[in-house]
Amino acid sequence: MVVLDQRVLPGATEHLKIGECAQLVEAIATLAVRGAPALGVAGAFGVVLAMDEAARKGWTEAERDAAIDGIRDARPTAVNLAWGVERVRPLVAAGRDAVLAAARELAEADTAANRELSRLAADWLLERFGDRPLRALTHCNAGVLATSGWGTALGVLRELAARDRLEHVHVDETRPLLQGSRLTAYELAQEGIAHSVQVDGAAASTIVRGLVDFAVVGADRIAANGDVANKVGTLGVALACHVSGLPLVVAAPWSTVDLETATGEDIEIEERPGDEVVVIGGERFAPEVSQGFNPAFDVTPARFVSLIATERGLVEPSAGTRPTDLA
Ligand code: MRU
């Protein structure tokens, strides 16, 4: 398996050759591969990797299954990872070709879903704003890099740009791992979309001052009631939108909706090493005694979510509709 190493973008374009499950788990845990839909696809291909490694090393079925479990559990918040693994796992008995074909299908379906949900969200926005160029804010990276193609939140922005209805994008840098300034800005620059990168602390003010018309983000897990887990900082964006009467749009494929999770309170929030917060470029800038607190995600309650756009259709949680309505 070969993956683009997102840790070193945009400075370097390097690929990781992954031949063992432990390497894939490491790549996921360190965010070489990241973004909920991309994790789903990596999980599905990870099952093929486990079958190959099992055959090479003469593993028992139990050892192979434990390796598959390890991939599934490499990160806890994005439901897509477990979803991707469990979608293809039942085919293990049918053989490698069947699992590989299912993983490929899953990746193709993800790109198609992203295109459809982007179209639906763009229609919703333009109907609301009267078909004029819009100014947007986005947080983290929900683009091509985070999916198998096209993107979710960034897919909506690309769709608006394709219709000549996108004026400017404010990109939150997304501390501590800078998915906004490293990855989203990189994708927007490649697309030729006008944008500026701002510190996360500027987001509320950008929204409340009316410098944007709406905010759009992806999601790592959407609970049955419409609560949304996404990159930490999303909740602040949502609250500022709520106060200002601006829409917060969540763009995600149906694979991110977890109907078995009733509300956001039931979503496990990954807590990452504190050093990611207090060490920058290898240099610690907080006092030695100061610990970093590093929850990677937060949960935005459904009442602050104006729209969830999926390929199955749209729901407006703040107006009372729920993902369960599309089930
Ligand atoms: O920690 P990350 O970079 O994997 O977090 C990614 C996000 O929070 C994205 O917004 C989400 O996965 C949606 S990607 C289409």
Ligand 1 atom closest to the Cα of residue 75 is: 4
**Sheet (strand 248-251) strand order:** 195-198, 166-172, 134-138, 214-217, 248-251, 307-310, 313-315
The pLDDT of residue 60: 98
Whether residues 123 and 272 fall in one domain: yes
How many whole angstroms separate alpha carbon 16 and alpha carbon 3? 5
Ligand 1 neighbour 142 (Cβ under 6 A): yes
Q: Are residues 161 and 99 in the same domain?
A: no
Residue 34 CA to ligand 1 center (angstroms) comes to 7
Average per-residue pLDDT in the chain? 98
Looking at residue 257, its pLDDT comes to 98
Say if residue 230 carries a ligand binding annotation: yes
220 is annotated as an active-site residue:
yes
Span 64-92, pLDDT tens digits:
999 999 999 999 999 999 999 999 999 99
Q: How many Å lie between the centroid of ligand 1 and the Cα of residue 219?
A: 7
Rounded Cα–Cα distance for residues 82 and 74 (Å)? 9
Percent above pLDDT 90 for the chain: 100
Among the three residues 81, 108, 135, which one is the final residue of a domain in this structure?
108
Q: How many angstroms separate the alpha carbon of residue 289 from the centre of ligand 1?
A: 30
Burial class of 126 by CB neighbour count within 10 A (0 to 12, 13 to 18, 19+) = middle
Indicate whether residue 228 lines ligand 1 (CB < 6 A).
no
Final residue of a structural domain among 108, 140, 168: 108
Q: Is 41 in the pocket of ligand 1 (CB under 6 A)?
A: no
Please check whether residues 135 and 204 belong to one and the same domain.
Answer: yes
Domain-terminating residue out of 86, 108, 130? 108
Q: Which domain holds residue 13?
A: 2-108
CATH of the domain at 125: 3.40.50.10470
Instruction: Collect all residues with Cβ–Cβ distance below 8 Å to 320 and sequence separation of at least 6.
Output: none
Per-residue pLDDT of 164-178, as tens digits, reads: 999 999 999 999 999
What pLDDT shows up at residue 180?
99
Predicted confidence pLDDT, tens digits, the chain (327 residues):
999 999 999 999 999 999 999 999 999 999 999 999 999 999 999 999 999 999 999 999 999 999 999 999 999 999 999 999 999 999 999 999 999 999 999 999 999 999 999 999 999 999 999 999 999 999 999 999 999 999 999 999 999 999 999 999 999 999 999 999 999 999 999 999 999 999 999 999 999 999 999 999 999 999 999 999 999 999 999 999 999 999 999 999 999 999 999 999 999 999 999 999 999 999 999 999 999 999 999 999 999 999 999 999 999 999 999 999 999
Same domain, 152 and 246: yes
Ligand 1 neighbour 37 (Cβ under 6 A): yes
pLDDT at position 51 is 98
12: domain CATH number is 1.20.120.420
Residues 22 and 161 in one domain: no
Q: Which of 110, 200, 220, 298 is catalytic?
A: 220
How close is the Cα of 78 to the center of ligand 1, in Å?
Answer: 8
Query: Would you state the pLDDT for residue 121?
Result: 99
The tally of CA atoms less than 13 A away on the side-chain side of residue 179 is: 25
Q: In terms of C-beta density within 10 A (0-12 exposed, 13-18 middle, 19 or more buried), how is residue 241 classed?
A: buried
Q: 80: Cβ below 6 Å to ligand 1?
A: no
Between the CA of 35 and the centroid of ligand 1 the distance, in Å, is: 4
Q: Are residues 99 and 242 in the same domain?
A: no
Q: Residue 39 CA: which ligand 1 atom is closest?
A: 4
Cβ 55 vs Cβ 10: under 8 Å? no
147 lines ligand 1 (CB under 6 A): yes
- What predicted TM-score, i.e. pTM, was given to this entire model? 0.98
The residue whose CA is least distant from atom 8 of ligand 1 is 231
Most informative mutation of 4, 174, 231 for ligand 1 (most atoms within 8 A of CB): 231
